[in-house]
A = this chain, B = another copy of it.
């Protein structure tokens, strides 16, 4: 009888492969099996980030996620992924699941974790988030002293977004995508447009930073982030 393997949810950071932690690198390079979500069975940013550290002998468990724009993939895909991981764990093989950014900060790992954490040993390795990577890209501190930071998914209703943006010193608006028009309206109403910066692919080779007022498009990529600084620049 073999003892069961351990599932590791490992943050690989925001994009630059050098922004992976030593712990993540050690676990990835020694993993008998790595798992990751792949949109439509193909694309995986997490795998691309981790690529330099994946051994040639490591087995890849690709969790096929039939993605539609801004829709959560179906429960069935997570069920299938969790079962495939469990089969390895049952045979005593550790599985390292690669997660963009941090596994527990708006990550898909939690859906696998929810299915397996009660039955198998699970460990979570935090990673650098795109939130602070975006602040570094902007060369502007996110928060100081007793300032509030809010992380606001652009998918929220306009009323809620307006209320939250009205009462914060800094905001990180994530998942902007096709909600750009809504966000632009709200920031305009609050007179914050000139204080908003758009960051696309922070720390990737093709990182782009643009003031919101210079954006002419109606849409942004799903993973675009807008940082809004409404505080008094106390620093």
Contact = CB atoms under 8 A, between A and B. Distances in A.
Contact of A129 (B124, B132, B141): B132
A145 interface: yes
Interface of A: 11, 13-14, 16-23, 25-26, 72, 102-107, 110-111, 113-114, 117, 122, 124-129, 132-133, 135-136, 139-153, 155-156, 160, 163-164, 167-168, 175, 203, 235
Given A20-B22, A25-B22, A152-B148, A126 B122 contact: no
A203 B148 CA distance: 24
Contact of A145 (B72, B117, B147): B72
A1 B140 CA distance: 31
A156 B167 CA distance: 13
A156 B148 contact: yes
Nearest to A147: B153
Integer count of this chain's copies in the complex: 2
Contacts of A104: 132, 135-136, 140-143
B167 A135 contact: no
28 contacts: A11-B128, A13-B21, A17-B22, A18-B26, A20-B21, A20-B22, A21-B21, A21-B22, A22-B25, A72-B145, A102-B135, A104-B136, A104-B140, A104-B142, A105-B141, A105-B143, A106-B144, A110-B141, A110-B144, A114-B235, A117-B139, A122-B139, A124-B135, A125-B136, A126-B132, A126-B135, A148-B152, A150-B150
A121 to B, nearest CB: 11
Query: In the complex, which of the residues A150, A160, A163 has the most CB atoms of chain B within 10 Å of its own CB atom?
Result: A150
A186 to B, nearest CB: 15
A36 to B, nearest CB: 18
